[in-house]
Structure 1
Amino acid sequence: MEKATFGSGCFWCTEAMFQRLKGVSQVKSGYAGGHTQNPTYKEICTGKTGHAEVIQLDYDPNVISYDELLEVFWKTHDPTTLNRQGNDVGSQYRSAVFYHTENQKKLAEAYKKKLDESDIWTDAIVTEISSLDIFYPAEIEHEDYYNQNSSQPYCAFVVTPKVEKFKKIFADKLS
C-alpha cells in the first residue's frame, strides 16, 4: 500500500469520492500545509493556521495508479480558483497535492503541466504541489462524514451532486 494526500475543497466531498475507488483501502480527512501544531477544525476554519483541508488515502498501486488518482483529483474540483471551491472560501479550501515521494512530485507536476498546456480552462491552474510535512487527522466526527450524514443539508445539496457526477465519470474505477 502507498499513501496519497490531496486538498480539493471540503474534505467531506473529497473523502466521499475517493473512498469509492477500487484499490483505495482507507481515506482519512485531515489537515496539511500549515504552521500550527495539532490544529482543530475550528482553528482551520479561521484560515489562520495555514492548513488545507485534505484527505489522505491508502491505495494499492497494483489496482489504481497514482496517475489515476491524479486524474480523479483534477476532474472533481476546480483547480483554477485560488482558495475557493464553490461556496467554500478560504485558504483551507485550496487546491493542493501534498506528495509523499519524489516520483509523486514528478507525476503531479507533469499532469499539471499537461493540463495547463491543454487549455481546458481559461484561467491558470493554481494547484499547490508541495511535499507533505505533517498530516494531522481531523476530529473523529469528520470521518466518513458524508456516508453518515448524507441527509444533512450541506451533504444533500453540495456533496451528493458531486458524488453522483463522480460515479458517472469514473464508473469503471468504482469498487
Structure 2
Amino acid sequence: MPSNSPSIPNLELATIAGGCFWGLELALQRLDGIKYTLVGYTQGLDKEVKPNYEQVSSGNTNHCEAVIIYYDPSIVSYETVLRAVLDRVDITTVNGQGRDYGKQYRTGIYFHTIQQQEIARRILSEELIINPKYKNNKKIKIATELKPAKAFWPAEDYHQQYLEKRGQSAEKDNDDEIRCYG
C-alpha cells in the first residue's frame, strides 16, 4: 500500500476502522487538514476481490468497514488524526462499536509506514493510561487491531459521504453531534 498520494505527493495516507464507516468518515471530514476521505472495506481474506456491502455484512469475507484518508501533515499530524478517532471509539470493544456489532465493525489502525506503526502503538498504550473511561480497570485489554494496511476496496457510491449527503455538516471544526442512521 502506498503511503502518499500518487497525484499530490505532500498528502499522506491513513487507513482506520472504527465501527460504522459513516460516522467515522464525517468526523474525519471535519478535521482540519483532511483533504480526502473514502469509505470502504479492508483487512479481508486475500481471495476476496472487490467485496460489496452484502458480502462484508455477511461476515464471511473478514473485511471491516474502514475509512481511507489523505491528509496534509503540515496542517494535521497522524497523531492528531488517531486521537480524533480514539475520542469516538472504545478501543476495548471486540467486533463492534455503539449499536453496531459484527466483525465488520471492529476497530483498527492499519499503518502504511513504520513511523505510523510506532505512533499508533504508543498512542494506543497511552490511551489506557490517560483516558478516564479506561483508567480504573486494570484487567482491560486493547481490542483495536494494529496491522499493516492491506488492499482497500471502495464501498458503493451511496455510502460515500453518506451523512453529509443527508444534511449533516462536514464543515471543518464542526462539533455538532454526529447522528448515524440507515
TM beyond 0.5 = yes
2:93 is aligned with 1:81: yes
Residues 50-82 of structure 1 deviation map (CA, whole Å, 9 limit, x = unaligned): 011000000000000000001001111111110
Q: Tell me how far apart the structure 1 counterparts of residues 108 and 128 of structure 2 sit (CA, whole Å).
A: 15
Q: Tell me how far apart the structure 1 counterparts of residues 20 and 131 of structure 2 sit (CA, whole Å).
A: 26
Q: Give the residue type in structure 1 aligned to 2:52.
A: T
Which residue in the other structure is 2:126 paired with?
114
Residues 118-157 of structure 1 deviation map (CA, whole Å, 9 limit, x = unaligned): 4731332211000011111111111110011248xxxxxx
Aligned match of 2:22 in 8, 12, 18? Answer: 12
Count of residues paired in the alignment = 155
Regions of 4+ moved over 3 Å? 117-120
Aligned match of 2:144 in 97, 107, 127? Answer: 127
Does the residue aligned with 2:146 lie in a helix, a strand or coil? strand
Does the residue aligned with 2:36 lie in a helix, a strand or coil? strand
Which residue in the other structure is 1:27 paired with?
37
Which residue in the other structure is 1:44 paired with?
56
Residues 21-48 of structure 1 deviation map (CA, whole Å, 9 limit, x = unaligned): 1110111001110112211011111111
Q: Tell me how far apart the structure 1 counterparts of residues 31 and 126 of structure 2 sit (CA, whole Å).
A: 24
Unaligned runs of 5+ in 2: 1-10, 169-174
Which residue in the other structure is 2:159 paired with?
142
Q: Tell me how far apart the structure 2 counterparts of residues 16 and 119 of structure 1 sit (CA, whole Å).
A: 23
Q: Tell me how far apart the structure 2 counterparts of residues 115 and 49 of structure 1 sit (CA, whole Å).
A: 30
Q: Give the residue type in structure 2 aligned to 1:130.
A: K
Q: Tell me how far apart the structure 2 counterparts of residues 144 and 70 of structure 1 sit (CA, whole Å).
A: 20
Q: Give the residue type in structure 2 aligned to 1:65.
A: S
Q: Tell me how far apart the structure 2 counterparts of residues 87 and 22 of structure 1 sit (CA, whole Å).
A: 28
Q: Tell me how far apart the structure 1 counterparts of residues 29 and 115 of structure 2 sit (CA, whole Å).
A: 23
Higher relative helix content: 1
RMSD of aligned residue pairs (Cα, Å): 1.6
Which residue in the other structure is 1:102 paired with?
114
Unaligned runs of 5+ in 1: 152-162, 167-175
Does the residue aligned with 1:6 lie in a helix, a strand or coil? strand
Q: Tell me how far apart the structure 2 counterparts of residues 5 and 70 of structure 1 sit (CA, whole Å).
A: 10
TM-score, structure 2 normalization: 0.81
